Amino acid sequence: MTRPDRKPARLVLEDGTVLRGRSFGAARETIGELVFNTSITGYQEILTDPSYRGQTVLLTQPHIGNYGVNGEDEESGKVWLSGLICREAAWRASNFRAVTELSDYLVQHDVPGIERVDTRMLTRRVRDAGALKVLLTEDMDTSDELLVERVRQAPSISAEDHVLQVTTPRILEWTKGHESPFATASPGAVTADTTDFRRFRIVAYDFGAKRNILRSLVASGFDVTVVPADTPAEAVLERQPDGVFLSNGPGDPALLDYAIKSVKGFVDKVPVFGICLGHQILSQVFGAKTFKMKFGHHGGNQPVMDLLTQKVEITSQNHSFAVDPEKLPDSVEVTHVNLNDKTVEGIRHKELPVFSIQYHPEAAPGPHDSLYLFDRFRELIEGVRCS
């Protein structure tokens, strides 16, 4: 097999930076918000995470695509990010699980990529200047100045409600647990040998849920009904669920008035567990505010302390917004903090059976330090049912 001849391409930042590299994936132009992800593996999970809608992802791991792409590792049925940036995109995969090549996979989903650019410099630029709009293009004729102006005139992704673009269009029952032999289950996961075990019925709001979240819920003993993001509280309560789960998702949580209204309608009536965007929505329900971070947390190596146990977890995170700790009401306490920047990573209500965390406990492909949180949700429901 001969190496493909990849076309020249340009990467253009709104601050005027222009880099030249080589294109791979779909041959089209795109503008997104540039964020960097520090994960070493899991590029397919990143590509198919709905939380990345509107963003162009730079992977700091220099060699991407070497183990190819397969059907088991998809976190949704679509590649959601606007574009992919890496130092070197493998042209040929070498792994027994590979079904197709990374570039071909991006072509199938109409997403462009660029390689052979200085990803270290770009990472430092985002770290120092904050998230920037970025253009990927194979247009080598238009002047750099005109391309920079095109990026500057593009709307901010924060101004759009991305959740309604990624949520499920209909109510569905999710019944699949961990399907892959490479998956890691939570300590309290249900097996065929589990006896004297009661399953609980929960409603899961899909704000952009990853499949492994739903798998983890099923494996932890929940019967899961997935509902669209704009489902009213009345429709949820009619189902008489044992609990409600609020998923991850993309964009600015302050735009989601419909979600905040819905959660207000049941937060004092049923146990609730939220993660990522669900955590931010829940915080606003209690009166807190969220803010846009300088460059967010994106990667699988964020250290978080559980203040309830004093244990440190290495966590998977993907968010550009955070909860303002100064605006949390007295009825809510902080349960988890980020050890790098001290941002709020978890809260719980002091009286209601409600808690949330900012990161991803399902963490496909890993780490798996936080899988215990699904068991904590089950224990919360059991406590309510037994009281």
Q: String of b and e for 120-153 (b: at least 16 CB within 10 Å)?
A: eebbebbeeeebbbbbbbbeeeeeeeebbebbee
CB 340 within 8 A of CB 371: no
CB 86 within 8 A of CB 57: no
d(CA 313, CA 276): 16
From 83, 115, 219, 228, select the one nearest 164 (Cα to Cα).
228
Which residues have C-beta within 8 Å of that of residue 204, sequence separation ≥ 6? 174, 213, 214, 217, 224, 225, 226, 227, 244, 245, 247
Distance of CA 296 to the CA centre of its chain: 12
Angle at 209 between CA 207 and CA 213, to 5 degrees: 140
- 297, 298, 349, 360: the active-site residue: 360
CA dihedral 45, 83, 257, 381 (to 10 degrees): 10
Polymer length in residues for the chain:
387
Q: Is the dihedral of CA 317, 131, 335, 348 positive or negative?
A: negative
- 319, 349, 362, 368: the active-site residue: 362
Count of CB atoms within 10 A of residue 195's CB? 4
R_g of the chain computed on alpha carbons: 21
Angle at 81 between CA 78 and CA 87, to 5 degrees: 120
Take residue 117 and report the two structure tokens written for it. Answer: 């650019």
Known catalytic residue: 362?
A: yes
Known catalytic residue: 386?
A: no
d(CA 154, CA 52): 18
Known catalytic residue: 360?
A: yes
Take residue 134 and report the two structure tokens written for it. Answer: 């970025």
d(CA 19, CA 9): 8
How buried is 346 (Cβ within 10 angstroms: 0-12 exposed, 13-18 middle, 19+ buried)?
A: buried
- 115, 276, 298, 368: the active-site residue: 276
Active site residues: 276, 360, 362
